Structure 1
Amino acid sequence: MDLFLSPEESAFRDEVRAFLDAELDVNLRRAERLNPCFIAHPSYGLKWQSKLAKKGWAVPMFPPEYGGPEWTLTQRYIFDQECERQGEPRFRTQGIKMLAPVLMRYGTPEQKSRYLPRIVSGEDVWAQGYSEPGAGSDLAALRTKAVRDGDDYVVNGSKIWASMAHESTHIFSLVRTSDTGKKQEGITFLLMDLKTPGVTTRPIKSICGSHEFNEVFFDDVRVPVANRVGEEGFGWEVSKYLLEFERGGNPAGGLLRAWHGKLLRLASELGADGKRAIDDPVLATKFAEIGCDIDANDMIELMAMSKVLTGGNPGAIPSSVMKIERSRIRQAISELAALVVGIDAIRWEPRRPFTDLPEASEIEEERIVASAIYFNSRSQSLLGGSNEIQLEIIARDLLR
């Protein structure tokens, strides 16, 4: 792969930068700077998605027949890198980057025509209903049941860690439609409207103090059979395909570099003792090691993304490797940031969201949010399947 930009690609990068300079306003940048979570609050994320949609850039990974801009892999990579580096609200996640590829591959024509345009516009906001109490990374152990009743399924059970479900309109969920055979064989993939009678959402406050996760309960919830993606009992295959996009279907290099850059700014500031943390050889070495890890992650991402561009999926091993590395790098950055800010790392600001705080300098706001980011990053090795599960996937694929 040629790692040098052509004149045309350089011109595209300049076009992206000009758009971001014009449209990514100070409020959106501040919202992302003060966001300790892995996803932006919809009040900011949807505003940014609307701007991208007007430009035709809301879904860079979509093929043109579904509203995508028909970019090359390099253009997609440039776009994501520039957006992350300039601090866009991270919102192109569960609907755009996870459910949409599933609908394109397994959805009916009616499902594609109904849901994909509403995902692009932001009219529908999707949560993920995979994990359950007692069935987290082991999805095959799920117990939420769906019983066929005429043209509906009647769903009973619960899901946990449903990110932003309280701000979402819909949820895609795995349910058990059969208890016979292997436990993976009785799973079905359903699309549900969160306003359906019998659906209850209960908040879970995360360790960083934010309301990011939720429990979702289903009590005799009727879901049309038309909302099933794939055949009944085929949900395990659908879910595995989705997880490859969750774990490896989009680059994170730009985001990691943005955090790395914030860390450098913090480390370059004079502390109370009149010294800069970056001048400490131990901290400087750790900073350089993280930069090398980000470079290595970029190479893995480019290989996986090239598979997607040619019509494939990222692949189980690259997806799991990227998931592990992203969580490890993010945690390393947050740990080093906590060391750099020193005593401020134990300062706890209880107000949420942080955007409600009086405005301060960028450096001061980054110091305020540093401890919350540190605590939130602990969840990265669990989100999307624990790192232990990823290692098992890698070992199983390599040794079979």
Structure 2
Amino acid sequence: MSTAVCGRCESEISRRVNQPVRPLHVYSPYLPPASAIGQLRLCTLRRRQPAMKLLVSPPLPLFPSSPCRRSGKAIIQKHFHAVATRESCNWGEANRTAICRVAETHGSEQVKGREPLRRGTVSPRLSVPDHIRRPPYDGTDRLPDVNPDRQMHDRESIIHMRAACELAARVLQYAGTMVKPSVTTDEIDRAVHQMIIDAGAYPSPLGYGGFPKSVCMSVNECICHGIPDSHVLRDGDIINIDVTVYLNGYHGDTSRTYLCGEVDEPTKQLVKFTEECMLRGISACKHGVSFKAIGERISEHVNKYGYSVDPFIGHGVGTIFHSEPIIWHTYDYEPGFMVAGQTFTIEPTLSMGSTRCEVWDDGWTAITVDGSLNAQFEHTVLVTVNGVEILTKC
């Protein structure tokens, strides 16, 4: 039995393609899975015809909102789930236009003798003991909306946030000790999963919008949201490990880029500089300061050295995994000011080359189209009256 499009669905496709596309102003810290993009109920018929899918511009977290023109496209195509473009007149030429494309395979050319990233085999989803408290999205595989509320904490909830963030930091530190040539990302995921559940916590990425693993691992040209699999780490690789735990009803979120074996000097500089950018963004935080100050502080530093800031975002975190405020790591027009008691992440991702990205058809793995290396660092921070507290500092 194959899937085809009946006459009624063809009319609906035509109607959607010809109607104006709404501006892309809904933000999500995670790219939606392919199943959530351009949802159109297709009739299942006993016809031997190739299946067609409606492609619409999804709410991708690519660019800061701005008064300049933004556009999206809706098309029908057989091999791609989504194509979306947006423009921002306040970015440099490398960032001016970005395209996210969901493709069957990664088509980047080999860069400086390094083989392009290939997907491996993803092992079955790991189980979590019944006694461990689960987040609300567990068991749904539905990508939750970004909560519009900015999470505020009193003394008691700050204690819980510190506990969750401290655990996330310890898990990340342990995961980093496993980074070495010949180790697979799946092995690291299994070890991280076990450490989290042994501590009585739930690995937050597991099942979030259908994400199949307990931690995100992004190797070399993978910008973010890489799925652990049978991929073997090699000497000279870099890998970002992104750990989030759900402990006693609170999420702690942190990530770091690690060097695998002997890494060349330019790559070391990229990793070092990315961490500096994160810390500069954090240093801008204080009660009453505009959220725009974070992106400004990072951009001022980046502009001195010629790296590119990838268009992915930080977010509010606490009892809810992803909420407002949206944290941009570039110049932006986001309104609002920081308030003591707020918690959110700062997580800049820097590239050696283009910020144009391609998303594999798993709906998650975002990679640079030119194969250029990426590094990312992330902390969960608490705004205070006198400044900021890094909750995930180990």
Task: Give the helix-richer structure, 1 or 2.
Answer: 1
**TM-score, structure 1 normalization:** 0.25
Q: Higher strand share goes to which structure?
A: 2
Q: Which has the higher contact order (CA 8 A, sep 6+)?
A: 2
